[in-house]
Structure 1
């Protein structure tokens, strides 16, 4: 295996970047009929402020209300870290000390009534605490109220996603050089994880290695099965580089495939191409799913394509928008998501091919560019 030094760090996001994001979020909330937003530690807070505290039982909430300055409610002992965050200069801090009521502190920033968006990953105890403090308020999950909050990436976010995609591509090119036959799935998964880190990832989120019948489980976790000559092997791997996600899938074969295995792989490759070609501004998310699914349906394998065609990606590897029937959200330039159709034949084998795609002014652009043909490995 070859190695490479991590590429240069991109320029950090600025206080102005975070200020603009928070203003857009507050405006979008008002347009959606919300009185404001409560953003807990997690991906939304990182995106909006650059601040990434370790989640604990102590309440931290970013309070966004259109027409008001953003306020970050934090425990006093964490206030210095919050001030040093990229979004710190764009924020007012309201800290609370142990023994004080953080819900009363937060409630003072809100109206006594209204409907607020709250982070999906907010702790139930904090949601219940706010409901108790302000019984006239109601709450809705952010991904339900503002599903496109993080969906459209700016140029610097796209650059990070491109770098993550290139690192995942380099990982795939290297994994083709290792021996598969006679080794455990966990051995190949460990190789994938090491390569992702070698090519600059700071975090490995998943390394799916589904050999033979295990490939028919889309989210199979690499196990102790020894990979054998004649196996189809689904590889799906990714993580975070520069704070943004990678996620790619390719399917390889140990030795020469049967005619059926090659035919199924060709169908999935054609479906993946059809899904990619459906990407353009103004098309809907479900159009991408329909284009890919039609190819598999027409080939007689529709019952074996058992998941959506894609998911958004950004500061997390799964986020809105989702490429699935019923999702009528129009595609706009800057959206980034996977296109990953698959066929899964229970007890036999599976095939999946996945690229991250971004919407451009004229169509789509792949952020993964390794060959999609069935690769033969030893």
Structure 2
């Protein structure tokens, strides 16, 4: 039974746009190893990225070629519309091989078959699952090739979303709302942190009455107590205590599309400093969202935030947001545009961002975030969830 997520026209549009980028860069082929980019171009969806896999594309060939482990080939048949000649599988002895075999040996063979072994080939050199050995094996097998770093080529094609993609992100936002509510309701003095994490996970997978959820590209992040100044910690066995601040950052996921959401709660009566910082964060977010419209730059949006918090003697060195949407572990970010000083990326209609301008001090942190869609008239926050400090 097939598991198609988009119609054929959606993939035709994506492949055509990517081929155009390949031509503009003077490339004969690209090797795509980022699982999100593989999914974007073909629809392939499986937890197989722990072994080497790739999509190979040339400007001349109608279809991309999916390359993966033999046991995953049926997954490609189930989730893509690729013809049989575009699904290529290497034998299992290429995995953790005792025979000095490597999956990139097989990829090199496909590139030779496509007659680009001596051409200019783009590689995703900084993709999470493209290893140093993958590169050296391609070099060894294709000594006449000229390799180019095209890490973000497909990512920049992805940056503007279709209406079908936006609908999945809106559905992910509904899941995010339910999961955030479940987490906030689970947190109270004496409850172990893992029980709150379990409640969040249950809601992320249960989804809504109309549709279920998928696993998110990042686990729920939940620093608490003395550690809310460190944003990327998860949960422990420790029970929540009276006087604990707790940050929850999570995302619903629908067909690999995300809509992240972060909120902060406090077990008991929050200190005045935390209440004040939360109010400042909310004011800054609203100023930044008000600055969003097609034609402004990422740094223009950040400036609205920075000028707002500066009135209260605060500053933040880190970026406050990034483009995102389709993703697999280890994250849902697209690694392209960032809302930060110096990023002159011009906002265009149908871009999507996660704005997460937390304020972290030595003692306590507060995070309140919104995922938004750039529309012709401004920012459309995807979640409908109170933008404030919560208490447990």
Normalised TM-score (structure 2): 0.83
* CA positional deviation for 1:298: 3.2
Q: Which residue of 2 aligns with 1:284?
A: 297
* CA positional deviation for 1:42: 0.9
Distance 2:86 2:353 in 1: 34
* CA positional deviation for 1:264: 1.0
Distance 1:83 1:176 in 2: 41
Deviations along 1:182-224, one digit per CA (max 9) or x if unpaired, are: 2233332222222222223221432222223211111122224
Unaligned runs of 5+ in 1: 1-9
Q: Which residue of 2 aligns with 1:232?
A: 245
- Tell me if the contact between 1:41 and 1:52 (Cα under 8 Å) persists in the aligned partners: no
Equivalent residue pairs, number: 363
State how 1:88-237 maps to structure 2 within 5 Å: 88-89=82-83, 92-93=86-87, 101-102=105-106, 103-109=108-114, 110=116, 112-118=118-124, 120=127, 121-135=129-143, 136-143=145-152, 145-199=153-207, 200-204=212-216, 205-237=218-250
Distance 2:27 2:302 in 1: 31
1:312 aligns to what SS in structure 2?
A: strand
Q: Which residue of 2 aligns with 1:351?
A: 366
Cα RMSD (Å): 2.7
Distance 1:179 1:212 in 2: 12
- Tell me if the contact between 2:244 and 2:267 (Cα under 8 Å) persists in the aligned partners: yes
Change (3 A) 1:312 1:194: same
* CA positional deviation for 1:280: 1.0
* CA positional deviation for 1:146: 5.0
Normalised TM-score (structure 1): 0.86
The answer to whether residue 335 in structure 2 is matched with residue 335 in structure 1 is no
Distance 1:356 1:248 in 2: 7
Distance 1:243 1:95 in 2: 24
Q: Which residue of 2 aligns with 1:307?
A: 318
* CA positional deviation for 1:164: 0.6
Change (3 A) 1:105 1:148: closer
Deviates more, 1:127-136 or 1:356-365: 127-136
2:253 aligns to what SS in structure 1?
A: strand
2:196 aligns to what SS in structure 1?
A: helix
Deviations along 1:231-250, one digit per CA (max 9) or x if unpaired, are: 32211112522321131101
Q: Which residue of 1 aligns with 2:8?
A: 15
Distance 1:283 1:86 in 2: 37
Distance 2:53 2:220 in 1: 32
- Tell me if the contact between 1:13 and 1:86 (Cα under 8 Å) persists in the aligned partners: no
- Tell me if the contact between 2:174 and 2:252 (Cα under 8 Å) persists in the aligned partners: no
